[in-house]
Amino acid sequence: MTAALRPPCASGMFHNIECGPPVTSPSPPTENLGFPMLRGANVAGFYSSRRSLVLHCGRSDSLKRIKVKENTGNWFKPIKAIVDSDSSWTEERGAALSGTNLRQMSNVGKSTNILWHACPIQKQDREQLLQQKGCVIWLTGLSGSGKSTIACALSRSLHSRGKLTYILDGDNLRHGLNQDLSFKAEDRSENIRRIGEVAKLFADAGVICITSLISPYRKDRDACRALLPKGDFIEVFIDAPLHVCEARDPKGLYKLARAGKIKGFTGIDDPYEPPCSCEIVLQQKGSDCKSPSDMAEIVISYLEENGYLGA
């Protein structure tokens, strides 16, 4: 059986549902809504007038009419909120959400009224899952010293050992995150600050994060070190002299800098400040130029000796 659909009554709200006897008289013209089953019942459709709404629900043995009267005043009964005694919310959390615990709010830089939200899954839990310790391996040195090549060799070797790594390469990040920054001193500092913050997140995730950056200024590198817990920042100085890097000149940048076509180029007309107390030094002087794989193994030996490759 089908039913015609008409506009609901003026109030649009109904109460008091009455179930009548099986329908025996012909129903008004109907429209099939196309819903053949609803929890085992064959739904033929429904029709309404200004004073009532009739829903026809039929099973194979009978067809009954449900009459819904128009609301006359009381729409719904009040709903009483019940406190769940098993809830994990504490008074402190509730206070933070309601804004009553304003002492936890912070102002950081230009960000005001912000609140740190802690998660029950901590760094140690992620490290246990990955069976490694999250840290930042910060490769620094002149352009052409081999930072990116060593970073890839290191990542490949750790990957073969079943360790999760990620490389933050300076040029790669300037394609996206830092594309709005130039190579002026202030922008270079901001470039390093942003990468330091991203590297910190990777380390907190339990990942061995490898950064490959000239990062010429000592104060900027030290600021990134200060972002992480003690021991989680491993500074690796690729100690290749300027004449070696300039002879390699893989990007042709030294030639452009010498010709005056690039200003503020590190090692030519902008200084590089070597680390004073880095964890690892990889020297490339004269005939003592190890392969990228050999230098990667030196870093891996440091990680093994200091317990980074296990949880």
Asked if 140 contacts 213 with a C-beta cutoff of 8 angstroms, the reply is yes
Spell out the residues 6+ positions from residue 54 whose beta carbon is closer than 8 angstroms to its own. Answer: 3, 46, 47, 48, 65, 66, 67, 68
Query: CA-to-CA distance for 231 and 155, rounded, in angstroms?
Result: 20
Query: For 297-306, b where at least 16 C-beta lie within 10 A, e where not — what string?
Result: eebbeebeee
Spell out the residues 6+ positions from residue 30 whose beta carbon is closer than 8 angstroms to its own. Answer: 1, 2, 3, 4, 44, 45, 47
Active site residue 215: yes
Catalytic residue among 88, 111, 215, 291: 215
Asked if 299 contacts 122 with a C-beta cutoff of 8 angstroms, the reply is no
Query: CA-to-CA distance for 136 and 204, rounded, in angstroms?
Result: 10
Query: CA-to-CA distance for 279 and 135, rounded, in angstroms?
Result: 13
Query: CA-to-CA distance for 177 and 72, rounded, in angstroms?
Result: 61
Helices (H), 163-263: 170-173, 185-204, 218-227, 242-248, 253-258
H-helix or E-strand spanning residue 299 = helix 292-305
**Known catalytic residues?**
215
